[in-house]
A and B are shown apart, each in its own frame.
Chain A
Amino acid sequence: MSRFRFLFGWEFRNLLRFPVLELLVGFAVYLAVLSGEGGTSFNFPASIGSQIASHIQRHFHTKVQYLYVPMLFAAVVFASVGIAREIEAGYVKVMLSYPMRRRDLFLAKFLSCFLATLAIVGGAAFAVMFVQNWSVSLYIVSFPFTVFSVLVLLVVQTFYVTCVAAVVAVLSKNTALSFIGSFGVLYLPDYMSGLIGVKVPFLPPDSTGILGNFLLLGDTSAFWRLYDLTTFLEATVVPILIGAVLFQFSYVYFTRRFDVV
């Protein structure tokens, strides 16, 4: 356990070295500010407290969906630098020549990618939310469910993005190929669907939008008027399932099939 902790700490520091952290924070914050919806008309005659809660939730949930691009950018950079580059340069070979488990090494690399991405994007979303609406953000303490629901959205989206980036990095074993490949795999479906005006409900960021609407509206007729059960299941189960399968595949490949020689 202590060896895993040491590996994890080293990987985490390695990923957040100068100027990767600064550039990713700048990019995430810029897009988080850009996604601000600004003034909102409240529904009358709900109490002002519930109107503020609704405003915070809408603002936050929209932000998570908009932050898909910096999120995938961070995950792709971290996976390429932390996994593909280290395999390509032979650092993994050196590390595995020491008495350490492949499982520990893979989990340390994956977890550091996942947590660093989550920390940067989540931190940017919360910081910008506070900066833009500090007068109402103070009310957020009264609505812990809002924070929880935003964290759920962030975790689901980050898990999917990190799993895809990790599997491409492990299979490609090449920094440039990993960067371009995972960026293409993650961004092209979103870009193409936007181009032809079709929503892909089973892949982020569209699935995050549907899940966010469910967390915002709850199990109400307002939500079921917008989506049917199949779409809801596609949006909630499929990204997690894809992520889990890819994680399992990259884990098995790295620990059992991967040839370092």
Chain B
Amino acid sequence: MRVGFLVLIFSVAVVGGTIANDSARSVTPTRIIEMPPYGRVSGTFYPVKRTWRLTVESSPDFRGKLYILSEAGFRLWMDKRVIDSLDEVDIHGGVSKIFNPPLRGPYAFLIVNELNETRGVTVRHTQFGWEYDLIVAFSVFACVGGGLMAVGMVGVPWKASKAERSEHIQQ
């Protein structure tokens, strides 16, 4: 029963903390990058499993591409300069890309300048929404904890009555 109650309390605390935490914050780091002609700039990012919006802003005549890379894709890009992206989008002056990470973990973005001119680019990440994976997983754990607790509460008198029955039989 005690283990069940402990699991229940832990799960409720995780769910409550996650909801409170996600309601209170949205992460928005900004970077300003100077991109050389035909230059490629990448950056890594560790998102929790929330909706991730990546906004790229530049001059109206800027032309380029934005790639979203997984950890393996980022390593491939770093080692062999091969682009194997999860998602890609054309940039015409600027772009706002919404990405839902399939798993928690490190991701990367890669911006390619297709112009033969240097351009200043502003990159802004924003995370919003709740971490549904945590909330769902720990709601299930809370139910399991509640179940264990109930089994413990019912099981203790059942054990007692079994002992009493065996005593009766012995007598």
Q: Indicate if the CB atoms of A52 and B106 lie closer than 8 Å.
A: yes
Q: Indicate if the CB atoms of B44 and A29 lie closer than 8 Å.
A: no
Asked if A147 is at the interface (CB within 8 A of a chain B CB), the reply is no
8 more CB-based (< 8 A) A-B contacts, given A34-B17, A38-B27, A131-B134: A22-B5, A22-B6, A26-B9, A34-B21, A36-B17, A41-B29, A42-B45, A131-B138
Q: Indicate if the CB atoms of B14 and A131 lie closer than 8 Å.
A: yes
Asked if B18 is at the interface (CB within 8 A of a chain A CB), the reply is yes
Q: How far is the CA of A242 from the CA of B25 in the complex (A)?
A: 37
Interchain nearest-CB distance for A142 vs B (Å): 14
Asked if B105 is at the interface (CB within 8 A of a chain A CB), the reply is yes
> What are 18 sample pairs from A and B whose C-beta atoms fall under 8 A apart?
A26-B10, A27-B13, A33-B14, A34-B21, A36-B17, A38-B25, A38-B50, A39-B52, A42-B44, A42-B46, A44-B42, A48-B44, A48-B75, A51-B44, A51-B46, A127-B10, A131-B14, A134-B104
Complex: chain B residue closest to A134, CB-CB: B104
Q: How far is the CA of A19 from the CA of B17 in the complex (A)?
A: 20
Asked if A221 is at the interface (CB within 8 A of a chain B CB), the reply is no
Contacts from A to B (Cβ < 8 Å): 18-19, 21-23, 25-27, 29-34, 36, 38-42, 44, 48, 51-52, 55, 127-128, 131-136
- Which chain B residues lie closer than 8 Å to A22 at the CB level? 2, 5-6, 9
Q: Indicate if the CB atoms of A39 and B44 lie closer than 8 Å.
A: no
Contact mask for chain B residues 71-100; partner A; CB cutoff 8 A; 1 contact, 0 none: 100110010000000000000000000000
Contact mask for chain B residues 6-47; partner A; CB cutoff 8 A; 1 contact, 0 none: 100110111011101100010101010000000000111111
Q: How far is the CA of A34 from the CA of B127 in the complex (A)?
A: 16
- Which chain B residues lie closer than 8 Å to A18 at the CB level? 2, 5
In the A-B complex, list the 4 residue pairs whose CB atoms are closest, starting with the nearest: A33-B17, A29-B13, A135-B105, A26-B9
Q: How far is the CA of A176 from the CA of B132 in the complex (A)?
A: 42
Q: Indicate if the CB atoms of A42 and B6 lie closer than 8 Å.
A: no
Contacts from B to A (Cβ < 8 Å): 2, 5-6, 9-10, 12-14, 16-18, 20-21, 25, 27, 29, 31, 42-48, 50, 52, 71, 74-75, 78, 103-106, 125, 127, 134, 138
- Which chain A residues lie closer than 8 Å to B44 at the CB level? 41-42, 44, 48, 51
Q: Indicate if the CB atoms of A40 and B46 lie closer than 8 Å.
A: yes
Contact of B14 among A21, A38, A51, A128 (CB under 8 A): A128
Interchain nearest-CB distance for B3 vs A (Å): 10
- Which chain A residues lie closer than 8 Å to B27 at the CB level? 38-40
Q: How far is the CA of A182 from the CA of B16 in the complex (A)?
A: 28
